[in-house]
Amino acid sequence: MKRANTFEVRPLSPTGEEILRRLLDASAALWNETNYQRLIRYTDDDGYEDDDVWDADTGALEGRYKSVLGASTAQQVIRQNTHAWQNFFRAEAKYYDESNATVTEKPNPPGFRGNKDDGRELKTVIRNTSYSIDWGERSRLELLIGQDLKDEYDHTGRLRLEVCGEPNWPEYESQGRLNVQYDEVDGVYRASQPVTLSDDIQATPLADETAALDIGANNLVACTTTTGKQYLYSGRNLFRRFRETTRRIAELQSKLEDGQYSSKRIRHLYRKRTERRDHAQDALCRDLVERLYEEGVSEIYVGGLTDVLETHWSVETNAKTHNFWAFAQFVKRVTCTAEEYGVGVNVRSEAWTSRECPNCGSREETTRHRDTMTCVCGFEGHADLVASRTFLERQTGSAVRLMAQPERFEWDDHSWSESPCSRESPKELRSHQSTTRKRGNVAPEESAEPRLP
């Protein structure tokens, strides 16, 4: 399995920090020059072929920078730029392929990493044989530097940095290329170490059960298993805070001077908004997969949103499913977590699952109001839980018998905990004193919001 250790690093002295910044700055400059040479060939007015981009004299650029970076690091920076261009060409081919609908916006060539006067994006990539990490009570990272830096600073050639924090994966079979960059917002140096783990740590499913996940806009995940269990993770409070931060960002952007596009405060709010969302998403994936593993689930089906959004698109729904919830990112995270437990993940169409009555099969006679689906046949149930159950039955080809009331979870900024109203039915929830409109100091019901079907 592929995983990554992410951590902060600190130079052990002012001289060490100066060397590190020189190393990162030279890497950014090499990236920019390599990218420029390829970009001018790509935008040649006389027309271009993909092969022209690879005609850039990267060998000469490597020769100019290896005295500072070291030959291996210079090679890795150029190779990383090559991968960026290869990904661009693949995306561009899909964009122009009328039979491929996966890329809908015209991709842009790889960008630059700033300039010396306005500030560069300080980052580099180190080959796996050109660094070492000693994990322990006082973990240390050592990087190779170029001959010019060794001579100028009378240095040993191995820059030592303090590693802050504990690794997620201290034991691994092999390490990949190390990425190091300076985080201007927080004023710290961060590193990411890709590692390959032994297959021995992968768990084996306890049984051969199946689960289906319905991804929603207000309820983030509704899950049904073939064992009859149901789980519901609410996202209303999370999205409300996400939207409040977004409004605050817009207010600050409106006060910027002409020609100014951002500020440290705005960048900090963007970072805070993303980290809060990612933390909740990581915790949800871990909590859900662990529960499913205990239920004996060996296969998870996730409902795809493409056909749903094409039919039921709105600004609010788009903001929730893409900007806030980040559907593709969620699928990647749940897949990564499930891999540790030997559980497979598949994305399938979930079209009309929350419109189809599980009692009579009708789609036209059902009505949805907030979380509740009703049908003229007399059926009433939680729309998202109904959708996950219908979705599961489609994938397995057999009916699911529910064994208990669904378990509902809410986010408290640290973990997903069971809601006080977890075991109540939709009718009970509507009659509960904390969810109905009453006289006195009781908050009114939440205003209606667009929802996915």
Question: What is the domain range of residue 344?
Answer: 209-431
Domain match, 276 and 244 both: yes
Q: Which residues of 17-28 are buried (b: 16+ CB within 10 A; e: fewer)?
A: bebbebbbbbbb
Residue 447 lies in a domain: no
In contact, 70 and 24? CB cutoff 8 Å: no
Compute the C-alpha angle 156/159/161, nearest 5°: 145
Query: What token pair was written down for 20?
Result: 């590190």
- CA–CA separation, 331 and 254 (whole Å): 35
Of 231, 237, 438, 243, residue with least CA distance to 334: 231
The SS3 of residue 11 is strand
- The confidence score (pLDDT) of residue 448 equals 37
Query: What token pair was written down for 197?
Result: 């783990």
Query: What token pair was written down for 167?
Result: 């690794």
Query: What token pair was written down for 95?
Result: 């964009």
- CA–CA separation, 70 and 65 (whole Å): 8
Rg from Cα positions in the chain: 26
Domain match, 136 and 167 both: yes
In contact, 66 and 163? CB cutoff 8 Å: no
Domain match, 183 and 234 both: no
Total domains in the fold of the chain: 2
Domain match, 353 and 405 both: yes
- 200, 219, 251: which is the final residue of a domain? 200
- φ, ψ for residue 411 (rounded to 5)? -95, 130
Query: What token pair was written down for 281?
Result: 């998403």
Alpha helix (H) residue ranges in 43-126: 50-53, 58-69, 71-96
Domain match, 231 and 190 both: no
Residue 277 lies in a domain: yes
Contacts of 224 (CB under 8 A, 6+ apart): 211, 212, 230, 385, 388, 389, 391, 392, 400, 402
- The confidence score (pLDDT) of residue 320 equals 55
Domain match, 259 and 298 both: yes
pTM of the model: 0.75
- The confidence score (pLDDT) of residue 309 equals 43
- The confidence score (pLDDT) of residue 424 equals 54
Query: What token pair was written down for 140?
Result: 């240390």
Residue 231 lies in a domain: yes
Domain match, 195 and 233 both: no
- The confidence score (pLDDT) of residue 111 equals 94
For every one of its 453 residues, what pLDDT tens digit does the chain have, with 9 covering 90 and above? 899 999 999 999 999 999 999 999 999 999 999 999 999 999 875 554 556 889 899 999 999 999 999 999 999 999 999 999 999 999 999 899 888 777 778 899 999 998 776 778 999 999 999 999 999 889 999 999 999 999 999 999 999 999 998 888 888 889 999 999 999 888 999 999 999 998 888 899 999 999 999 987 778 899 999 999 999 999 888 888 888 999 999 999 999 988 888 888 998 999 899 889 889 999 999 999 999 999 999 999 998 764 444 444 454 555 555 556 677 888 899 999 999 999 999 998 877 787 888 888 888 888 888 788 899 888 888 889 999 999 999 999 999 999 888 999 999 888 898 876 655 554 444 444 444 333 333 333 333 343 343
Domain match, 220 and 368 both: yes
Residue 422 lies in a domain: yes
Domain match, 64 and 154 both: yes
Question: Can you list the positions of beta strands (E) in 102-169?
Answer: 114-115, 119-120, 123-126, 131-134, 140-144, 158-164
Q: Most distant CA pair in the chain: distance in Å?
A: 84
